[in-house]
């Protein structure tokens, strides 16, 4: 095991941090004693019917996001430009599959018996449009746009929402979210690094993503609005979430 | 179906694989294990090991492309999630076998050229048949091709390699053991999931059986080419090293001719195909002899 990956040469660093071995060491730290994403002995807190219903709506939308991420990440393996990216995306595929599974399991714990029907009923229209658009980019084999939409935009949206939700959720939901957030951080890092390198070499790509961004922003902000409603956040809190998302995109120098 | 698929959950996978038989391993073997001196110090044996490992990397790259490509074609969420674990398993296999090439002295910058130099063209054709189905989002044919034919072949090949290397190369055997454990799960999923789909879509049988016949032909041609190469056996004889008398399917591999080993492996794999295809309601098609 390498002591400090930052001491490696760039190509060796990328090979190391995109490897199964690295993923394996990372998840061991926070998943080894969990079952369905939370402590096996964590106790269910009492939740009133209204809050339970709101939580179910939020979780249904998390499932939509994670199913989109699972399908997009797996499709991106086919178009990844190199083997290390393929292997990293394979770890991401397993992560996204796990996220979908733990959210579905949480829904079952909350008494949902037909998750598919519930998701179809409660899915945010903007998030569904985002999902279609993302999968269109993947099937169109547009690596940079798909990576931007998936590992920067979608992951950033999930990151800010999950972090906010985890802070006030019941213990079990919070533990599930904390594990997911740790994975999202890795996925965002991959997206930012891979795209950042490409953007620094290609002003044309910068312009292309800058032109494309407003379309995704509109869908993300509409999804955030719907999620904020389910989480009972006020306008200021919703603005903070939007700002958090925009800051992630700003890190790539793609604002305005 | 829901109950059967729950056995293939990511939670189960986490407990049995990364937190189970892969715990405390590095690139699939115990930390500190290395390739044996006999192999590293002998150019002929080392090159033979590189040639063999190249085929493993190519087979696993095909499996990675196929399993990830099938996620979007899967008709239900639970199958998608199982295929997510399989995708990561296959990526791990690509990684551990690629690492073996590095351990055998292949320079990182030379990886792709070494792969294309030693790639068995029949194995490439075998992969192409499968990936064409995956590309068309044909879930039934894709899973039969991937989880029954490709994985079934890999399973027996790995078991034979494990037997051959059991005395001489514990490091490679450990890598193979972890891979075999994964393949067993993949084959199990394929049999269980596709059985019900074949019942649902009986009109697909003929086309899927034709694919099995084609893939089997390329597989047999791959075996024929691999066992024609007798350099390593001759080299062992030349340097006075006795071949391993490990048993595979009850036979002593140390006394068999390469021809006999080829037929033993081919018969084992085809026999497995026949059994497994029968279980899912497909009729095994005898391939043309290469």
pLDDT at residue A5, as a whole number: 62
Domain annotation covers residue A38: no
- Tell me, what CATH number does B196's domain have? 1.10.620.20
- Report the DSSP pairing between strands B251-252 and B247-248: antiparallel
Low-confidence ranges of chain A (pLDDT < 70): 1-8, 255-256
Kindly indicate the confidence band of residue B264, based on its pLDDT and cuts at 50, 70 and 90: very high
Is the pLDDT higher at B4 or at B172? B172
> With an 8 Å Cβ cutoff, are A75 and B88 in contact?
no
- Chain A residues in contact with B68 (beta carbon < 8 A): 74-75, 77-78, 89-90, 93
- pLDDT by residue (tens digit) across A53-83? 999 999 999 999 999 999 999 999 999 999 9
**Residue A201: exposed, middle, or buried by beta-carbon count in 10 A (0-12, 13-18, 19+)?**
exposed
pLDDT at residue B96, as a whole number: 95
Domain annotation covers residue B128: yes
Is the pLDDT higher at A34 or at B70? B70
- pLDDT by residue (tens digit) across B115-151? 999 999 999 999 999 999 999 999 999 999 999 999 9
What span, in angstroms and rounded, lies between the C-alpha atoms of A23 and A186? 9
User: Where in the sequence is the domain holding B38, given as residue range(s)?
Assistant: 2-279
pLDDT at residue B75, as a whole number: 92
User: Where in the sequence is the domain holding A181, given as residue range(s)?
Assistant: 9-28+47-250
What span, in angstroms and rounded, lies between the C-alpha atoms of A77 and B64? 8
Kindly indicate the confidence band of residue B3, based on its pLDDT and cuts at 50, 70 and 90: low
What span, in angstroms and rounded, lies between the C-alpha atoms of A15 and A11? 6
Q: Would you say residue B4 has pLDDT above 80? A: no
Domain annotation covers residue A66: yes
State the DSSP string of A167-181: HHS-HHHHHHHHHHH
Name which of B140, B132, B86 is nearest B282 in CA terms. Answer: B140
> With an 8 Å Cβ cutoff, are A97 and B10 in contact?
yes
What span, in angstroms and rounded, lies between the C-alpha atoms of B158 and B142? 22
Please state the φ and ψ torsions of residue A231, each to the nearest 5 degrees. Answer: -85, 0
Kindly indicate the confidence band of residue B193, based on its pLDDT and cuts at 50, 70 and 90: confident
Tell me the ipTM for this assembly. 0.87
Domain annotation covers residue A42: no
Give the number of A-B residue pairs with CB atoms closer than 8 Å. Answer: 100
pLDDT at residue B243, as a whole number: 85
Domain annotation covers residue B284: no
> With an 8 Å Cβ cutoff, are A98 and B91 in contact?
no
- Tell me, what CATH number does A245's domain have? 1.20.1260.10
What span, in angstroms and rounded, lies between the C-alpha atoms of A249 and A149? 10
- pLDDT by residue (tens digit) across B25-44? 889 999 999 999 999 999 99
Question: How many domains does one find in chain B?
Answer: 1
Domain annotation covers residue A4: no
Q: Would you say residue B161 has pLDDT above 90? A: yes
pLDDT at residue B173, as a whole number: 97
Kindly indicate the confidence band of residue B17, based on its pLDDT and cuts at 50, 70 and 90: confident
Question: How many domains does one find in chain A?
Answer: 1
- Report the DSSP pairing between strands B29-30 and B247-248: unpaired
Name which of A51, A21, A145 is nearest B27 in CA terms. Answer: A21
The residues that bridge with A34 in the sheet, in sequence order, are A39
What span, in angstroms and rounded, lies between the C-alpha atoms of B57 and B69? 18
**Which residues have CB under 8 Å from A240's CB, separation 6+?**
none
> With an 8 Å Cβ cutoff, are A93 and B90 in contact?
no
pLDDT at residue B18, as a whole number: 78
Kindly indicate the confidence band of residue B23, based on its pLDDT and cuts at 50, 70 and 90: confident
pLDDT at residue A12, as a whole number: 77
- Chain A residues in contact with B6 (beta carbon < 8 A): none
Query: Tokens 């996925």 identify what position?
Result: A187
Name which of B183, B187, B206 is nearest B279 in CA terms. Answer: B187
What span, in angstroms and rounded, lies between the C-alpha atoms of A233 and A236? 8
Dig out the tokens for A60 from the structure: 């249904």
- pLDDT by residue (tens digit) across A198-221? 999 999 999 999 999 999 999 999
Domain annotation covers residue A213: yes
- Chain A residues in contact with B9 (beta carbon < 8 A): 101
Domain annotation covers residue A195: yes
Query: Residue B16's closest chain A neighbor by CA?
Result: A32
Kindly indicate the confidence band of residue B286, based on its pLDDT and cuts at 50, 70 and 90: very high
Domain annotation covers residue A144: yes
Domain annotation covers residue A34: no
Domain annotation covers residue B285: no
pLDDT at residue A256, as a whole number: 56
CB A68, CB A134: distance < 8 Å: yes
What span, in angstroms and rounded, lies between the C-alpha atoms of A185 and A156? 9
Kindly provide the residue ranges of all beta strands, DSSP E only, lying in chain B, ordered along the sequence.
25-26, 29-30, 247-248, 251-252
- Chain B residues in contact with A96 (beta carbon < 8 A): 84
């Amino acid at each position: 095991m390498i002591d400090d990956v930052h001491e490696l040469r760039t190509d060796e660093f990328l090979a190391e941090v995109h490897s199964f071995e690295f993923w394996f060491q990372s998840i061991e730290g926070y998943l080894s004693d969990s079952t369905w994403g939370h402590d096996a002995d964590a106790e269910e807190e009492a939740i009133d019917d209204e809050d339970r219903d709101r939580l179910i709506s939020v979780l249904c939308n998390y499932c939509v996001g994670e199913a989109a991420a699972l399908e997009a990440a797996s499709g991106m393996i086919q178009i990844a430009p190199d083997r290390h990216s393929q292997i990293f995306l394979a770890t991401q595929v397993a992560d996204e599959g796990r996220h979908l599974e733990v959210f579905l399991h949480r829904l079952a714990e909350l008494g949902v018996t037909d998750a598919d029907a519930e998701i179809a009923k409660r899915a945010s229209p903007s998030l569904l449009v985002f999902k279609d658009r993302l999968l269109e980019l993947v099937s169109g084999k547009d690596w940079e746009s798909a990576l931007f939409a998936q590992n920067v935009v979608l992951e950033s949206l999930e990151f800010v929402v999950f972090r906010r939700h985890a802070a006030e959720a019941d213990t079990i939901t919070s533990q599930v979210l904390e594990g997911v957030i740790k994975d999202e951080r890795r996925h965002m890092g991959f997206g930012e690094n891979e795209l950042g390198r490409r953007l620094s070499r290609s002003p044309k790509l910068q312009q292309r993503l800058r032109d494309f961004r407003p379309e995704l922003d509109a869908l993300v902000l509409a999804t955030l609005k719907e999620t904020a409603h389910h989480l009972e956040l006020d306008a200021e809190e919703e603005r903070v979430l939007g700002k958090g998302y925009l800051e992630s995109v700003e890190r790539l120098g793609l604002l305005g | 179906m829901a109950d059967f698929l729950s056995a293939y959950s990511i939670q189960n996978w986490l407990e049995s694989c990364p937190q189970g038989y892969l715990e405390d391993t590095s690139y699939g073997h115990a930390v500190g294990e290395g390739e044996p001196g006999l192999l590293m110090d002998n150019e002929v044996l080392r090159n033979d090991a590189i040639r063999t490992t190249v085929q493993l990397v190519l087979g696993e790259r095909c499996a990675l492309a196929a399993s990830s490509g099938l996620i979007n074609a899967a008709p239900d969420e639970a199958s998608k999630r199982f295929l997510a674990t399989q995708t990561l398993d296959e990526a791990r296999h690509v990684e551990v076998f690629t690492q073996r090439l590095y351990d055998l002295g292949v320079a990182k910058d030379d990886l792709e050229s070494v792969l294309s130099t030693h790639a068995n063209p029949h194995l490439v054709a075998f992969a192409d048949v499968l990936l064409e189905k995956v590309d068309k989002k044909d879930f039934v044919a894709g899973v039969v091709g991937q989880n029954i034919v490709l994985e079934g072949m890999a399973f027996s090949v790995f078991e034979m390699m494990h037997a051959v290397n059991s005395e001489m190369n514990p490091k490679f055997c450990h890598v193979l053991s972890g891979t075999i454990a994964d393949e067993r799960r993949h084959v199990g999923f394929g049999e269980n999931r596709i059985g019900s789909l074949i019942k649902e879509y009986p009109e697909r049988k003929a086309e899927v059986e034709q694919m099995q016949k084609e893939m089997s032909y390329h597989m047999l041609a791959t075996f024929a080419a691999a066992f024609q190469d007798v350099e390593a056996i001759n080299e062992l004889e030349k340097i006075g090293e006795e071949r391993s008398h490990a048993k595979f399917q009850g036979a002593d591999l140390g006394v068999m001719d390469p021809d006999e080993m080829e037929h033993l492996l081919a018969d084992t794999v085809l026999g497995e195909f026949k059994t497994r295809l029968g279980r899912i309601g497909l009729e095994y098609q005898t391939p043309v002899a290469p």
